Amino acid sequence: MTCLALIGDKFMSVVVRENHSMYAMMDVAALEGIMPRTGQDLTGVRFGRLVALEKLAEKGHPTRWLCRCDCGETANPTGSQLLGGRVHSCGCIKAENNRTRLETHGMSHLRVYHIWQAMKNRCYNPNQPHYARYGGHGVTVCDEWRKSFEAFYAAMGNPPTDKHSIDRISNGRGYEPGNCRWATAKEQAANQRPKPPVTWEMPRGEGHFKATITEEMVREIRASAERNCDIARRIGLSKQSIADIRKGRTWRHVT
């Protein structure tokens, strides 16, 4: 777009452009050295969405201008902010851009949107607590769903209840059309990756880390004619431990 800017003592046409958070960027290089930073009357000059209305006198502070924004609000930027192209609105441009980024589909407040975000995080964010079980295990999100919430929503829709969350039908595949469903916690538990069988067991007898006697000593205790108290005193065990060994309550595997 084109607006008027006061350069020297003349109003000149200046081309401005809209670009993301900046509504307009004036040709600052043309202004510097031509327009003084202070003492210039900017009344009626447009800077992006702002139009300078009047100078605000503040002794001992940079000169500020009362400006009216196109949205109807007012702002009080300094003259140097206006002339330097650092202020273009009352702040409404930034707010609009934030809303555009966060709510392009208007559904970022829905639970299904947060489910989509969490799905991507546990697959691609190493700082996510469950990353090791998903992204660290090779689970991925198909490109279509990863790049577009709309594509994900078109395929999955809303979960039927608050107790339903996304579940992969085949744990060997990632999050993709045809392999995902809405399921309750109970349904998902029945669909978990099978746990490997336990092949290790605690060593018994003299192999146990707390063992203080050997299997051969157990055989000698059971065959001995000594009293329990005498055996206990000789090898350093309690009388009850000797009794348990002799009656087979402990070291049952030793014959």
Per-residue model confidence (pLDDT) at position 163 = 92
Residue 196 resides in a domain: no
Compute the mean pLDDT over every residue in the chain, rounded to the nearest whole number.
80
Does the pLDDT of residue 120 top 90, yes or no? yes
Are 222 and 198 in contact by the 8 Å Cβ rule? The answer is no
Are residues 7 and 91 located together in one domain of the fold?
Answer: yes
Nearest to 29 by CA among 10, 47, 43, 14: 14
Residue 101 resides in a domain: no
**Domain end position, chosen among 162, 189, 216:** 189
pLDDT in tens, 195-224: 666 555 556 666 666 677 888 888 888 888
The count of domains in the chain is 3
**Domain containing residue 90:** 2-95
| Residue bearing the bigger pLDDT, 57 or 237 | 237
Residue 16 resides in a domain: yes
Are residues 79 and 50 located together in one domain of the fold?
Answer: yes
| Residue bearing the bigger pLDDT, 78 or 11 | 78
Residue 102 resides in a domain: no
Are residues 27 and 56 located together in one domain of the fold?
Answer: yes
Are 35 and 12 in contact by the 8 Å Cβ rule? The answer is no
Cβ-proximal residues to 231 (8 Å cutoff; 6+ apart), any chain? 221, 224, 237, 242
User: Apex CA 232: angle with CA 249 and CA 220, to 5°?
Assistant: 65
Pairing of strands 64-69, 74-75: antiparallel
Indicate the pLDDT class of residue 145, thresholds 50, 70 and 90: very high
Residue 82 resides in a domain: yes
Are residues 183 and 126 located together in one domain of the fold?
Answer: yes
